[in-house]
Structure 1
Amino acid sequence: MTQAPPLELLKQARTRFTQREIAAHVGKDIKTVRRWEKGETPCPAMLEPALRDLLHAGAALRHGDADGAANFRFIDLFAGIGGIRMGFEAQGGACVFTSEWNDFSKKTYLENYGAEHSFIGDIVSFPAHEVPAHDVLLGGFPCQPFSIAGVSKKNAMGRPHGFECATQGTLFFDVARIIAAKRPAAFLLENVKNLLSHDKGRTFEVILQTLRDELGYEVHYRIVDGQHFTPQHRERIIIVGFRGKTAFSWDDLQLPAVGPRLGSILHRTDGSEPVLPWDHDRFFDHAKKRVQPKYTLTPNLWTYLQNYAEKHRAAGNGFGFGMAYPDSVTRTLSARYHKDGSEILVAQGKRLRPRRLTPRECARLMGFPDTFRIPVSDTQAYRQFGNSVVMPVMQEVARIMRPHVEALLAPAPSARVRLS
């Protein structure tokens, strides 16, 4: 069966939506939609996926599920273990699609969220038109270095150099192509703070140019430190965008002036540590009321770390281990924590060597509840939490995004929408 051409899809959409609503969905001016409808200019073939989504989604996308269970639908790209997802679910969102290529992360993700919708591996080879319709795109995309060298040359030669050219070969390109095809009401992207300064700021310039100029979204970004919510200094850049004009403001974030301290997430040795049936005694010996001995550094490793730190101190460098105490805010947990734990070593008094955080404590340090299950090895768990997000940060950003998402999904007051 042949697919309907874009103009035919536009005509079908006009039986349900106004020109203004269609224009908002595809990111074009209402006059442009009017010219397509009159046949004055051809309706671009590239808009076919967006028009098809508008038809298929209908009122469900605009008002949430019929039973009111979800206020908006989102997709979870580069999902990791679902930290961003958890934050948006807490604000009434429903996940309809997930992509994560790492098999160990997928195991943890499925253990905690189930497989109630499509879960794919690598998003790079996945066709954008097969991504289900959604209201919000979420992505903690890895930032692979790319260059914008040659863009000026292509301008001079009159060659196209839109986002497909400027970011081809990077994972950000896959975010951009899905936004272009599906036109969600909003998106949230998360990355390391250094994205702002990478390649002297040119990388971030291309990203903003892509999102604002090429895709036509209103874009806001801010660096947020996770220590407002958990005892960890973890600065990350958060980029949010909206399909239309909004009154979104980062000033609406509610960031506690003083966050919690390390003692709040450590295993409790006074007998009050909860017994989690999915953990049992894996991390904490409840009978002896102590962290399992395997997390204490071996004599050789402790000696090595002390000598390494002393060597760099003598050379005037700042490298070395990071000792943490109950009243501390820790350094940033990294994906390499499984190697030696050096960035966050928990002091155990003068007579005992320090220890690593347990994977359960790492989960707490990232803001995950104790109900979050850890079905993988310690090594994989350390990698997963080190690569994840501070979940309460995502929840707070989702909170201030939600009213603007809902406003974009609501029909215009003067709109005459005929639903079939």
Structure 2
Amino acid sequence: MVRLYASKKDVPFSAETGEEPGMLSHGRSAGDEEMRLTKRDIERASKRRKYSDGRGLFLSVSANGRKTWAFCYTFAGRAREMGLGSIDFLNVDEARDRAVHLRKMVRDGVDPMTDRNREAKVVVRRKVEGVTFKAVAERVIEMKKGEWSDDGKSETDWRGSLTNHVFPSIGATSIGEIDTMDVRDALKGVWSASPSTAKKLLPRVEAVFDYAIAEGLLSGDNPALRAKVKKLLPKLEKVHKPTPHKALDYADLPAFVRQLRARVGIAPRALEFLILTGVRTDEVIGATWDEVDLEGATWTIPAERMKAEREHRVPLSEPALAILRALPGEEGNPFVFISPNGKGKGLSNMAMLKLLKGDMGFAGEATVHGFRSTFRDWTAEETTHDNIVAEMALAHAINSKVEASYRRGDLFKRRKALMDDWAAYIDGTAA
């Protein structure tokens, strides 16, 4: 028979008495041997609950089926639960030996959790001496290099934002000495001067502290938790209201694309492809051939390259496919739109903007990002396509709960029809 305890109300071991309810005077409870967990009990335990092994030791099963040992006790009138580790690293005999040691600590008037935390802080202090925020940030960047495939853009962005806005104030400070107020003070200036930078910078600072905690250089809560830091700073939307991107009127778009097609080079093809697909600059210049299925007329952008961090399938119209089929390639270069300035690289993030504003003379009239607004205006005013289809074509976050329910699918067929209509409008072949 296995004893079950659903909550800390059922804690069986007491610091005050050193005994559990029903315990006999020689320290063993009636039927204690029968109540202990067997190996079969441990293997079969599957429901989300605590299974008692007796005298404060429990097998805890989580919602995802993970099994860990826990020691439950009361100390100074408070019920406490101390995790001992996974059954993968601590078998039942080892867990029982550990529980014997912890029960003795309780009887001796020592709180096991307080003692463990004190030891951990000593270890952390030894590790953290001389380890600065900047040193940890450098480790994070080196670690993340393996995740980035954008020709060094992310690394440059991370280093630049931290060097310019964070390192001057806390870069040389020991990671363990920095608190939430220090983080707040480091971000104060950029928060009001450049909210778009601040929005990216805070998660990066938080990631550095997360790494320090995982590495054992820091104990306790992350001092750069976004929810906490944001409470100490004004709301970004109140500090700065972004101005909309300049956008070309959709009535002028077919003529613009004709001008674009008359130009030679990678940048004009990339910009036309961006217009036809409705995506963002980073998504185009970061596109690699392994994301593209020419036969299936689909471009699948992985979640890590999307602003909403959600995989996005893009239906490719015939004009978009024609661009891809005609692009020059470079052996060993994975990028769809290769750089004309260096082997193995993708197109620069400034190439399309330079083409639009400088070479084509649209400075002050249009932006690269603005073509998404052009597409959205055309959809709303000239078509009968549903709002949700257009929003999903742009990979926008859906705020409406009703519309969000569509997220169970991606409306790919309906989005394909929309993008085909868009291509036909641009070409001047729309019915």
TM-score (norm 1): 0.23
TM-score (norm 2): 0.22
The structure whose residues are more often helix, as a share, is 2
Which has the larger Rg?
2
Which structure is richer in relative contact order (CA contacts within 8 A, separation 6 or more)? 1
